[in-house]
Structure 1
Amino acid sequence: MTDLPVSRALPSPVAAVLSLWRSADPIQKVAILVGLTLVILALFAPLIAPFDPDAQSLISRLRPPLGFARAKAGYLLGTDELGRDVLSRSLYGLRLTLMLASLGATLGLILGGALGLIAGIGGGRTEAAIMAAVDTQIALPFTLIALFLLAILGSSIQVIVLVLGLYGWEQYARIVRGEVKRMMTMPFIEAARAAGAGPLRIARHHLLPNIVSPIVVQFTLSLSNIVLLESTLSFLGLGVQPPTATLGSMVGVGRDFMPTAPWIVIAPAAMILLITFAVQILGDWLRDGADVRLRAR
């Protein structure tokens, strides 16, 4: 009896995703659909938004959403204090917030993952120095670090991405360093060394493929925290500067109009809540799928 080819024995990525989808509970499925919807809205914001997000019309300022008195036709979620369409600004704000958070999370992954890999493979003084930097980062409140950097370097988009990228890198470094230290004692690493493989080849072909799962899970869990951090900085006026909209800046500006025009805040705040909800549940879902012990149960 001949064995099946390896390519048929292994599940395809689509089959793996379908298997995870079937194992998800109803709340996880709702979170996944919400997350996909938000991503689609962000990607196609220029096509979906009914108006220019920065177009002002003072004669139409503070108009409520459709269905309320004084509502203006075409402005589904009403207008803000300058007569700008809240729906259009929310869509563009969602787009920019997700872009900044994704770039920042990716930068943190690259920085922390590289340092964790170097610490795990190098050991000795190199590992001690990197882990001392990790401990220092954990000990300092990151909000103060972010405020200091933004005060010194300004609040351009490049600086904001850099600040967001520095958030959470220590978590990647700790995870990667721990996984690498554990795998460096395994027989397949010893066999690769005996075959003459250098550190770069071992890292690329043997270590990185085996630490993808915990890194992906950490990426999803940290993404929601970075969204909240960006929203906090924008709320305080230290993020992307007007008239460009982010979800946090819309909430920050709209707080002064909460008693008379709460719809200015409700739409961006709801999007922030949906993002954090979807990403956190997605992270738990991926963690459960990557945990062999949970799958066995």
Structure 2
Amino acid sequence: MSDTALPVRHGAANKPGHGALANLRGIWREANWIQRLALLIAAILLIIAIFAPLVAPHEPTAQSLIFRLRPPIGFDRFRDGYLLGTDELGRDVLARCLYGLQLTLALATMGACIGLVLGGGLGLVSGILGGLVDDVIMGAVDAQIAIPFTLIALLMLAVFGSSLEVMVLVLGVYGWEQYARIVRGEVRKLMQMPFIEAARAAGASGGRIAFRHILPNIVSPLVVQFTLNISNIVLLESTLSFLGIGVQPPTATLGSMVGIGRDYMPTAPWIVIAPAIMILLVTFAVQILGDWLRDRVDVRLRNR
């Protein structure tokens, strides 16, 4: 046998990242026009949020009172370098929107993740163990639902202050009861299924049943609730900032910009319109992509 080595083919399949690019192209082809629009909006928002310090033309807190309340480009009294105009203190609205988008997305994502882990974990424990544990957890859920969360947020912020850490905690507590109820209901239903009984008969532990057999079958409702929660947290942060108890000035969030700018709506509506449009785009993209992701990751839909 000859010792000559066979030539190695360096085709496209051997190029690094080829599989990932193929998957991205496949995802794009499967999407309809509204899902593609949501993907583009989400990608643009993420990019400008991540690179806000590089994209922003000015510092978000830099003031220039002689240029206060200047309108956006295309209007009289427009000031060069301030494409979206200036606010009541002469700060660049575009820069504040970019930095505000960055902070708002970070707060919403961290808050939704905390709620998912807290509520999902309690719902999983409640559904599997049942009995007294189930009664205690569901009692806490009922109590949470009975009390308007705005009052809970006001109490927490009044006691612990309105720092960013406290805001993350407040936003994380928001919506945990919805996760708990959804997960508990799905788990109670799945516990009666034959494959769970078979796993028990085979000697599977409670942890293996939970993570191997139950969690993959409840991903779909969790994805939907997670996307809903992100949108709701963005609106909650806007509400708290509107009431003056959210993230404190001069730090900018989209909600605080809307809250502060409401007093200038008759004379300088651009102060509110720009961050409000960004809030609308965030909620639109999250809702559409969450619904699409639900259809892709649901094992029950894939097996049909």
TM-score by length of 1: 0.88
Partner amino acid, structure 2, of 1:115: L
SS in 1 for 2:266: coil
Deviation at 1:27?
A: 2.3
For 1:254 and 1:227, how far apart are their aligned partners in 2?
17
For 1:52 and 1:144, how far apart are their aligned partners in 2?
35
Structure 1 gaps of 5+ residues are: 1-11
Relative to structure 1, is the Cα distance of residues 145 and 14 closer, same or farther in structure 2, using a 3 angstrom cutoff?
A: farther
Deviation at 1:129?
A: 1.2
Equivalent residues of 2:234, 2:255 under 8 A apart: no
Partner amino acid, structure 1, of 2:256: S
Relative to structure 1, is the Cα distance of residues 21 and 177 closer, same or farther in structure 2, using a 3 angstrom cutoff?
A: farther
| Structure showing greater Rg | 2
Question: Quick one: percent identity of the two aligned structures?
Answer: 72
Range that drifts further, 202-211 or 267-276: 202-211
Structure 1 residue 134 corresponds to structure 2 residue 133? no
Which residue is 2:212 aligned to?
Answer: 205
Deviation at 1:283?
A: 2.6
For 2:194 and 2:89, how far apart are their aligned partners in 1?
66
Relative to structure 1, is the Cα distance of residues 182 and 193 closer, same or farther in structure 2, using a 3 angstrom cutoff?
A: same
Deviation at 1:14?
A: 7.5
Structure 2 gaps of 5+ residues are: 1-18
Range that drifts further, 118-127 or 185-194: 185-194
Relative to structure 1, is the Cα distance of residues 153 and 217 closer, same or farther in structure 2, using a 3 angstrom cutoff?
A: same
Which residue is 2:180 aligned to?
Answer: 173
Paired residues in the alignment total 286
For 1:15 and 1:117, how far apart are their aligned partners in 2?
36
| Alignment partner of 1:278 out of 277, 285, 288 | 285
Equivalent residues of 1:235, 1:248 under 8 A apart: yes
Which residue is 1:190 aligned to?
Answer: 197
Structure 1 residue 108 corresponds to structure 2 residue 136? no
Equivalent residues of 2:217, 2:300 under 8 A apart: no
Which residue is 1:75 aligned to?
Answer: 82
Structure 1 residue 40 corresponds to structure 2 residue 47? yes
Deviation at 1:193?
A: 2.5
Partner amino acid, structure 2, of 1:169: W
Equivalent residues of 2:48, 2:98 under 8 A apart: yes
Equivalent residues of 1:117, 1:177 under 8 A apart: yes
- 1:144-183 mapped onto 2 (5 Å cutoff): 144-183=151-190
Deviation at 1:201?
A: 2.5
Q: Cα deviations across residues 153-201 of structure 1 (Å, max 9, x unaligned)?
A: 2111111111111111111111111221222223332333233332223
Structure 1 residue 91 corresponds to structure 2 residue 89? no
For 1:171 and 1:18, how far apart are their aligned partners in 2?
35
Range that drifts further, 230-239 or 109-118: 230-239
Which residue is 1:8 aligned to?
Answer: none
Relative to structure 1, is the Cα distance of residues 294 and 205 closer, same or farther in structure 2, using a 3 angstrom cutoff?
A: closer
Equivalent residues of 1:20, 1:289 under 8 A apart: no
Equivalent residues of 2:217, 2:299 under 8 A apart: no
Deviation at 1:104?
A: 0.5
Deviation at 1:210?
A: 2.6
For 2:258 and 2:227, how far apart are their aligned partners in 1?
24
Partner amino acid, structure 1, of 2:137: I
Aligned residues: CA RMSD:
2.3
Q: Cα deviations across residues 102-159 of structure 1 (Å, max 9, x unaligned)?
A: 0000000000000001001111111111112112222222122212221222111111
For 1:178 and 1:259, how far apart are their aligned partners in 2?
49
Which residue is 1:143 aligned to?
Answer: 150
Which residue is 2:128 aligned to?
Answer: 121
